[in-house]
Chains A and B, each alone.
Chain A
Amino acid sequence: MRYSELQRKSFLEATARERATGLTDEGSFTELAGPRDRMMSPHLPALGEAVSFDDGVVTGVGLVGEHPVFIISQEGKFIGGAVGEVHGAKMAGIFRLALTAYDHAAQEHPHDLERYRPAVVVSFETGGVRLHEANAGLLAHAEIMDLIQDTKGKVPVISLIGSKVGCFGGMGFVAAATDVILMSPQGRLGLTGPEVIEQEIGKEEFDASDKSLISRTTGGKHKYIMCDCNELVEDRIGAFRDALCGLLNRPYSSLCRCRRIGSYELVREQMALVRLAAQLDPSDSKDIWRYYGNAEPDLIPEMEVKEFLKTAHRRPREVE
């Protein structure tokens, strides 16, 4: 597919490889540990489960302007994008490479680091740990969390969420720990996935067959109002890319201010939200939307992105 077509393509419909290619500058993406390296799961064959040459994640490096951008793009069609041993190791490897690239950039361009600063971009499409190789998958989550801490003060980590599977389970935590989150309205972000909630607590608690309920509680618009995601974009690879370029043109310090966790003040802000939830006792996300000043919450789910961004009232941030 031509690069210009790729830019117009739905992010939701795109494969992990298409996303990786389309997010970086034309012709600049180089896949690392790609299909030809045949780094496959050592555990799935023993269980009689199909394997994939890339273990469900595309990893590599490309350019956005002068910035080397290290990409992790998960493929939800392969075991729901779940993180196994090899998949996780590939993700961790990308963080390590980005940190090495930062050291180089800091040495080569000490006075012009803003321009050459590397970034890590993760296009999440996953339910978290791959249960077939759960211990290795969990360890990978811990390792990536650790590496995200190592990036602080050096390399921005940007999450993109707009694919079919969404971003759930342990990887929901990982996304929350990154610096910036971009979502499309179709993107979904959470910890315990809708079907797991229904299975564990019951249909009265959460009806996982109710698509609009899922969208209202985990979807991009709700996360935007709640400031769980920083920016909302349309469902096009090009729209995600434009937003990414915009972020990388901003000073690193302004990206650090997008974080939701990572300081005492931010923890206090999150705790205040917990108290507010207990106090409001909302029966639906619409109650919260209204609370934050959206007078007609019923109109929000159907609104076009442009109109929504113009009219939406967001939760005021306490920490700037």
Chain B
Amino acid sequence: MALVHLKFSFDGIPGASIPREWSHSGVVGSGDMEVLLTRREQNGRVNVTVCTPVSGFDRVWELVLRRFVAESGCGDLELEINDNNATPFVVGLRLRQALLEARGGEI
């Protein structure tokens, strides 16, 4: 019944953070999510917190997030996710979009 809070931590690339102090992207619609990215110098570490109404998908979150960190080549970040039943594919997509936006790219 209560919301599920998950915490993860991954090895990222030192110095591969975002240009501004923080960036926000996405809307918590049905089947969607938002993410708040904050720059934090911590030897490349990427810490992620997830807040979701769905329980029992800890392992899937870890796999999707691990792959995002590895493939995007990011680092030195805190990610805070508010999720509302987004599928693993949507999560991956939204995270890539969020990083691109934070780095000033066009979608």
Contact = CB atoms under 8 A, between A and B. Distances in A.
Given A45-B2, A50-B53, A77 B22 contact: no
Given A35-B34, A77-B27, A78-B27, A51 B1 contact: no
A48 B54 CA distance: 9
A56 B34 CA distance: 11
B36 A48 contact: no
Nearest to A48: B1
Size band of the interface chain B makes with A: 20 to 34
A16 B28 CA distance: 12
B78 to A, nearest CB: 12
B28 A51 contact: yes
A75 B27 contact: yes
Contact of B82 (A48, A53, A75): A53
B102 to A, nearest CB: 13
Contact of B28 (A1, A34, A78): A78
A34 B2 contact: no
A15 interface: yes
B50 to A, nearest CB: 11
B45 to A, nearest CB: 20
Interface string A1-39: 100000000000001100000000000000000111010
| Centre residue among A16, A47, A78 by max chain B CB count within 10 A | A78
Nearest to B55: A48
Interface in A65-79: 75, 77-78
Contacts of A45: 2-3
A50 B28 contact: yes
A52 interface: yes
Nearest to A31: B24
A53 B34 contact: yes
Nearest to B3: A45
Contacts of A78: 27-29
Contacts of B80: 53
A50 B36 contact: no
A50 B84 contact: yes
A36 B85 CA distance: 22
Contacts of A51: 3, 28, 51, 82
A74 B80 CA distance: 22
B82 A50 contact: yes
A284 interface: no
Contacts of A35: 24, 34, 36
A57 to B, nearest CB: 12
B32 A77 contact: yes
A299 interface: no
11 contacts: A35-B36, A45-B3, A48-B2, A49-B53, A50-B3, A50-B51, A50-B52, A50-B82, A52-B28, A52-B34, A53-B36
Interface of B: 1-3, 22, 24, 27-30, 32, 34, 36, 51-53, 80, 82-85, 106-107
Given A16-B27, A46-B2, A49-B3, 8 more contacts: A38-B36, A45-B3, A48-B53, A50-B83, A51-B3, A52-B28, A77-B29, A78-B28
